[in-house]
């Protein structure tokens, strides 16, 4: 495998992992309570993340003065939002859940504008509005077809997106520079312990009722989604630009929708399918860089060479 092909392989890997993750959560929650399933997922992932951190010589502990952020990340990045995701899939299809989560870049930009003073261009603002309106119409359409249970699923997934977006902004502000494996390894382990304790009190799970399919799905989530997905996405960000990496958010919902329709027979309405185009287009416009628009217009982004004073005199002579 050459370095030229590595970005393509990583890009495809991320899209496939994220696209299949939602169906795995749908299977997992059929017989395993959501809090316990999320705790088990992170308990499986944590040892792999710890070993990777040690192998790559990344610290396991947050820097001095930021130790308390390990617990904030464990609760507000791992425990609560991931539980909300899998909880929501009890009421809506995996394909629809993936569409809601695909708006993460939009949520991050809104939170960045509020908390970090991020300035959006006019075209980014237009893209943001198109995406938000399209998502609202999709949710309204699907809720009218699915009833009150759908609303509960929407609220759970929407809450997960909002919490993740806020955490992204605050981590960017207060924990910038912390290696990715440091950020994930011990916080995911702490999250698993907290989730197991909560599950024993709230859900009182009966392990005898867990199906083989659900257990296999949780193992998939722990190994491939929580470890493989993290490593592949951040490696993709290193070998390509952030815009290329963010395009994964446009493609994984299509994979998730295809799997949900093909295997489970869960389909969304034709109106919602049509609204996917402006939704994903709005996300693309919002995340696009100035260089991207210059390429679209056919303008070169390569700066013109500047001649020195001596050369200019030679030309004039």
Q: Enumerate residues 6+ apart whose C-beta is below 8 A from 222.
A: 40, 41, 42, 43, 44, 45
Range of the domain at 270: 5-315
Tens digit of each residue's pLDDT (9 = 90 or more) over 234-251: 888 778 776 777 788 888
Q: Is the pLDDT of residue 198 over 60?
A: yes
- Distance in angstroms (rounded) separating the CA atoms of residues 266 and 144: 16
> Among positive and negative, which fits the CA dihedral 115, 119, 121, 122?
positive
- 90 touches 214 (CB < 8 A): no
How far CA 19 is from CA of 12, 15, 22, 122, in Å, comes to: 10, 6, 6, 31
**How would you write 223-292 as a 3-class SS string?**
HHHHHHHHHHHHHHHHHCCHHHHHCHHHHHHHHHHHHHHHHHCCCCCHHHHHHHHHHHHHHHHHHCCHHH
Rg (Cα) of the chain, in Å, rounded? Answer: 22
Can you tell me whether residue 62 is helix, strand or coil? coil
Q: Enumerate residues 6+ apart whose C-beta is below 8 A from 115.
A: 166, 169, 170, 173
* pLDDT given at position 3: 64
In the DSSP assignment, the letter for residue 209 is G
Scanning the structure block, which residue is given the tokens 């943001």?
128
Round the average pLDDT of the chain to a whole number and report it. 85
Mean pLDDT of 156-163: 95
- Distance in angstroms (rounded) separating the CA atoms of residues 247 and 251: 7
Residue 177: alpha-carbon gap to chain centroid:
19
**Which band of pLDDT confidence, cut at 50, 70 and 90, is reported for residue 288?**
confident
Closest CA to 219 of 4, 14, 28, 10: 28
Q: Is the pLDDT of residue 150 over 70?
A: yes
Q: Is the pLDDT of residue 305 over 80?
A: no
- 283 touches 135 (CB < 8 A): no
- Distance in angstroms (rounded) separating the CA atoms of residues 117 and 138: 30
Scanning the structure block, which residue is given the tokens 């070993």?
51
Q: Is the pLDDT of residue 315 over 70?
A: no
* Structural domain count, the chain: 1
Tens digit of each residue's pLDDT (9 = 90 or more) over 59-77: 999 998 899 999 999 999 9
Higher local confidence (pLDDT), 22 or 234 = 22
Can you tell me whether residue 307 is helix, strand or coil? coil
Q: Is the pLDDT of residue 110 over 90?
A: no
Mean pLDDT of 280-299: 71
Tens digit of each residue's pLDDT (9 = 90 or more) over 202-230: 999 999 999 999 999 999 999 999 999 88
Length of the chain: 317
Q: Enumerate residues 6+ apart whose C-beta is below 8 A from 98.
A: 18, 19, 22, 252, 253, 256, 257
- Distance in angstroms (rounded) separating the CA atoms of residues 6 and 65: 37
């Amino acid at each position: 495998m050459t370095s030229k092909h590595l970005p393509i392989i990583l890009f495809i890997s991320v899209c496939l992992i994220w696209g299949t993750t939602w169906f795995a959560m749908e299977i997992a929650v059929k017989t395993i309570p959501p809090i316990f399933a999320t705790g088990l997922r992170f308990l499986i992932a944590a040892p792999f993340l710890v070993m990777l951190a040690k192998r790559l010589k990344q610290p396991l502990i947050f820097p001095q003065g930021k130790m308390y952020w390990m617990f904030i990340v464990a609760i507000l990045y791992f425990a609560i939002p991931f539980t909300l995701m899998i909880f929501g899939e009890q009421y809506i299809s995996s394909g629809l859940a993936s569409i809601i989560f695909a708006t993460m870049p939009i949520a991050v930009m809104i939170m960045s504008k509020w908390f970090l003073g991020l300035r959006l261009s006019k075209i980014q603002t237009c893209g943001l509005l198109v995406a938000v309106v399209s998502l609202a119409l999709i949710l309204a359409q699907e809720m009218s077809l699915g009833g009150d249970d759908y609303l509960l699923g929407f609220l759970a997934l929407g809450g997960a997106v909002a919490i993740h977006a806020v955490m992204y902004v605050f981590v960017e502000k207060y924990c910038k520079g912390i290696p990715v494996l440091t950020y994930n390894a011990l916080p995911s382990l702490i999250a698993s312990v907290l989730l197991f304790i909560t599950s024993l009190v709230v859900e009182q799970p009966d392990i005898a009722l867990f199906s083989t399919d659900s257990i296999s799905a949780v193992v998939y989530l722990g190994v491939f989604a929580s470890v493989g997905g993290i490593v592949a996405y951040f490696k993709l960000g290193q070998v390509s630009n952030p815009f290329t990496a963010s395009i994964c958010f446009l493609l994984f919902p299509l994979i998730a929708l295809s799997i949900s329709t093909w295997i489970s027979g869960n389909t969304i309405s034709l109106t919602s399918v049509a609204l996917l185009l402006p939704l994903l287009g709005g996300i693309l416009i919002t995340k696009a860089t100035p260089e991207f628009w210059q390429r679209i217009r056919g303008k070169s982004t390569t700066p013109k060479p500047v001649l020195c004073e001596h050369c200019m005199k030679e030309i004039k002579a």
